[in-house]
Structure 1
Amino acid sequence: MATVSRFHLRLALLPLLLLLALRRTAAAALPTFPGDKAALAALKSAVAASSIPPYSCLASWDFAAGRDPCAAFPCGIRCYTPPGTANSSSSYLRVMAVALDPAGYSGSLPAAVFSSLPFLASLSLAGNRFHGALPGGVPLQPSLRVLDLSGNAFSGAIPASLFAANSGLQELYLSRNAFSGEVPPQLALLGGLTRLELQQNGLAGPLPRLGAMRSLSHLDVSANALSGSSPLAAPGLLPPSILSVVARNNSFSGQVSAAALAALTDLRVLDLTGNAVSGVLPAAAFAHPSLQQLRLGSNRLESVEDAPDGGASSQLVELDLSGNVLAGKLPGCLGAMPRLAAVALDRNRFTGGIPDRYAVRVAAEEATEQWVPFARLMLQGNYLCGALPSQLRQLKEGSAVVSLADNCLPRCPRKFFFCQGAPQKDHATCPKCETLVRHQENLLQMP
């Protein structure tokens, strides 16, 4: 019975299968639209022949032999038949994606690639040696969703004319080039953009307001020469949709605003390492409902506010405040943050003793119901003093990454791995040791 049923099913599906087969054959027989073919030819002509290896994808684009790109080119492009044209005798295949292999192609990017491929959804030239300025005066096609020009040698300003309100762009990768000038404010017109990567260029000036980019989730502008207020200096500079902000190694200044942090409720990663951010790190950073990685090393922060609930609700997994000018006692609230596993407070001006909670967390071998162990605790280069907590004396090398070097801890002998490195400071340069032993430090529940 089952065999008969399958037989009748095949008979019933036969007309549909034949129709699909005929449509596939017809589509395969369609030529590439002449304008699309000309744009692809312009792209290959703009690449120096000496930079096209014989094994590469671009070497297989043989226009001289009259080969049709969509039908005969084995790689580098994808084509399709736009809806509503399959039954027309004058239909063409249209180029919807161009993705060149990273073979070291050297050349310029012709304007025809932007202007003459109206069905192009994805363009990737990443990891080559394309150079010169991007075509100006030609907006990106509304169909384009992904533009990846990363890892080339493009230079000059990023043309503002590329970006229009009707753009459908979702991902823009211009990193690792030689772009200069300012970040164009017209980027804020890209309401559908989710990823913006501009890192490792020569961009300068302030970062424009991007608060209108309602879909932006990932922003990376690291390793440029950007200046002015940091992206977290005030509410509205970034959209509420943002998940990750990475702006390492620029010249951003000002403070981290508590109101700006509160407005970005979904923010998970904030990395402003290597800037000139100053002032107070607000308690909002510790009470944030989503923030997991906070990296503010090598800035000019002067103090840290205590967490409003003692740190119990913090979602932080990693905290890096190294290389600032933070003073006073080590923040006790860090010891109560349940998910915190990596702490870097080195190269500051902290004084006083090491909280017992820090020692308990770094010496723990397993997580408890209250917290996970510290896998990394960097406290070197401060003015910490007093006796070592007993838990640290029992710490075995390899169990965690810990450093107490270059402090004011005369009872930190080099036999302990975490005391090795730079020697302890001379007694004359150390302030009077004032350690405060809080009773609650000794009430920490042990597993």
Structure 2
Amino acid sequence: MKIFSLLLLLLSLSSLAHSLTSPSDLSALKSFKSAIKPSSIPPWSCLASWNFSVDPCALPRRTSFSCGLLCNPAATRITQLTLDPAGYSGTLSPLLSRLTQLTVLDLADNSFSGLIPSAISSLSNLQILILRSNSFTGAIPPSISNLKSLESLDLSHNSLAGNLPKSLVFLSALRRLDLSFNRLTGSIPKLPPNLLELALKRNSLSGYLEKSSFLESTQLEVIELSENSLAGTSPAWFFLLPSVQQINLANNSLTRVEISPAAATGSDLVAVDLGFNRIEGNVPVNFASYPALSALSLRYNRLRGTIPLEFSQMKTMKRLYLDGNFLTGKPPAEFFFGGDPVSGSLGDNCLQGCPQSSHLCAPSQKPNAVCKEAYGSGRGKGKPMT
């Protein structure tokens, strides 16, 4: 009987030892939930199961703390806070900073609002921070640079404003940065050195593409800068970044593009989108020197002249969009009669002899009157009207 009682006592102590969440973590969780509007917590959601009469890290979990967080193997510290997209609304409690062992904070696809608290910068072990698709406002806290372990930062689809913090460059572990669909302004600062993916789509960024911003980001593979207000020239060095594979600069205010064939033979560049800008001059023939390029869009710019024959000789080219310009002459026959036809569009230009039966020639070419006006003798060197 004594042995049986002793076993029960040992089991009880063992259970307590493995289900005692750190008091600081417990207070942080309580503060986090109390900052969320109760009316926005559905009865079936993760937060609805957070019942603080039970220890958050206790195992096995049944009806309390059934989802939304993970604890370390010792069952004393919270390591992940990942909420379901249940439409939670409210603000973020500054006491989140007490979750010092947190490696993942993911609150995506909810309705959190207010400022991103600078206290988040105290989460020194954080590797993934995802606040995508909420209603956060204000500036990105410059102190976010204190997150030295951060590998992925996604603040996209919010209402963040102000300039990009110059302190971003100090996020030396960062591999993925997505700040798309916000209201950010100003120019692009110097970027983190180990970045692989950069997404800043649909903001209000302005200024020029400066080499100093990208100089140390030698591992960049994907650059998404579309739907901003970037101006000036898209420089040759930009397309020769050592690891770049995809570049999207569509829907900006660029007026010129420089492409150098030098060193392009070793490039991994696969896709380039420069559509819907204000680029003038001839179609940049040097794109043909990029050995892996398979998708190119220069649609709806102010390009003139003929389509380079070299484009039709590219074995890698699969998608080519040159529609919406003022291109003249006859398109290369290889586009229509080759063994591996190209998809895309050459429509809405001033081309002659573009077969109407080909999908490449849709939509139809500009009216002759528009083309004559664009290339009128009084405009000098055939420059289209702008």
1:246 aligns with 2:236: no
Distance 2:188 2:308 in 1: 32
Distance 2:98 2:257 in 1: 45
Q: How far 1:350 sits from its partner (Å)? A: 0.9
What pairs up with 1:90-239 in 2 under 5 angstroms? 93-94=75-76, 119-136=77-94, 139-164=97-122, 167-209=124-166, 210-231=168-189, 237-239=190-192
Q: What secondary structure sits across from 1:32 in the alignment?
A: coil
Distance 1:142 1:72 in 2: 24
1:293 aligns with 2:246: yes
Change (3 A) 1:261 1:49: closer
Which of 343, 363, 375 pairs up with 1:421?
A: 363
Q: How far 1:179 sits from its partner (Å)? A: 0.5
Query: Is the 2:244–2:268 contact (alpha carbons within 8 Å) kept by the matching residues of 1?
Result: yes
Query: Is the 2:28–2:96 contact (alpha carbons within 8 Å) kept by the matching residues of 1?
Result: no
Q: How far 1:286 sits from its partner (Å)? A: 2.4
Question: Deviations along 1:154-187, whole A, 9 cap, x unmatched?
Answer: 11111113213x7111111011000011111111
Question: Deviations along 1:388-438, whole A, 9 cap, x unmatched?
Answer: 212123158x94322011101132242221112243243323326989xxx
Q: What secondary structure sits across from 2:119 in the alignment?
A: helix
Query: Is the 2:226–2:249 contact (alpha carbons within 8 Å) kept by the matching residues of 1?
Result: yes
Distance 1:208 1:132 in 2: 25
Paired position in structure 1 for 2:7: none
Q: What secondary structure sits across from 1:204 in the alignment?
A: strand
What pairs up with 1:286-365 in 2 under 5 angstroms? 286-309=239-262, 311-361=264-314
Change (3 A) 1:185 1:33: same
Change (3 A) 1:174 1:44: closer
Paired position in structure 1 for 2:20: 33
Change (3 A) 1:355 1:25: farther
1:385 aligns with 2:328: yes
Q: Give the residue type in structure 2 aligned to 1:175.
A: R
Q: Give the residue type in structure 1 aligned to 2:249.
A: L
Paired position in structure 2 for 1:438: none
Distance 2:125 2:252 in 1: 37
Structure showing greater radius of gyration is 1
Q: What secondary structure sits across from 1:279 in the alignment?
A: strand
Q: Give the residue type in structure 2 aligned to 1:144.
A: L
Question: Deviations along 1:214-243, whole A, 9 cap, x unmatched?
Answer: 111111000001001124xxxxx2121111
Query: Is the 1:278–1:301 contact (alpha carbons within 8 Å) kept by the matching residues of 2?
Result: yes
Q: Which stretch has the larger CA shift, 426-435 or 339-348? A: 426-435
State TM-score, norm by structure 2.
Answer: 0.83
Query: Is the 1:27–1:81 contact (alpha carbons within 8 Å) kept by the matching residues of 2?
Result: no
Q: Give aligned pairs, total.
A: 360
Distance 2:29 2:116 in 1: 23
Paired position in structure 2 for 1:107: none
Query: Is the 1:332–1:355 contact (alpha carbons within 8 Å) kept by the matching residues of 2?
Result: yes
Distance 2:33 2:295 in 1: 49
Which of 242, 257, 260 pairs up with 2:213?
A: 260
Q: Which stretch has the larger CA shift, 218-227 or 310-319? A: 310-319
Change (3 A) 1:60 1:175: closer
Paired position in structure 2 for 1:70: 58
Paired position in structure 1 for 2:374: 430
State TM-score, norm by structure 1.
Answer: 0.73
Q: Percent identity?
A: 34
Question: Deviations along 1:281-317, whole A, 9 cap, x unmatched?
Answer: 1111222210111110011111111215173232211
Q: How far 1:207 sits from its partner (Å)? A: 0.5
Q: How far 1:387 sits from its partner (Å)? A: 1.3
Distance 1:296 1:376 in 2: 17
Runs (5+) with no aligned partner, structure 2: 1-9
Paired position in structure 1 for 2:3: none
Query: Is the 1:297–1:323 contact (alpha carbons within 8 Å) kept by the matching residues of 2?
Result: yes
Distance 1:278 1:182 in 2: 24
Distance 2:57 2:184 in 1: 42
Question: Deviations along 1:367-397, whole A, 9 cap, x unmatched?
Answer: xxxxx5211100000111011212123158x
Question: Deviations along 1:35-77, whole A, 9 cap, x unmatched?
Answer: 46676677677673784445x555666667x788613423325
Q: How far 1:131 sits from its partner (Å)? A: 1.1
Paired position in structure 2 for 1:97: none
Q: What secondary structure sits across from 2:320 in the alignment?
A: strand
Query: Is the 2:299–2:324 contact (alpha carbons within 8 Å) kept by the matching residues of 1?
Result: yes
Q: Give the residue type in structure 1 aligned to 2:231.
A: S
Distance 1:400 1:414 in 2: 15
Paired position in structure 2 for 1:98: none
Q: Give the residue type in structure 2 aligned to 1:170.
A: Q
Distance 1:25 1:425 in 2: 86
Query: Is the 1:140–1:163 contact (alpha carbons within 8 Å) kept by the matching residues of 2?
Result: no
Distance 2:12 2:354 in 1: 79
1:411 aligns with 2:353: yes
Q: Give the residue type in structure 2 aligned to 1:192.
A: S
Q: How far 1:280 sits from its partner (Å)? A: 1.1
Change (3 A) 1:50 1:358: closer
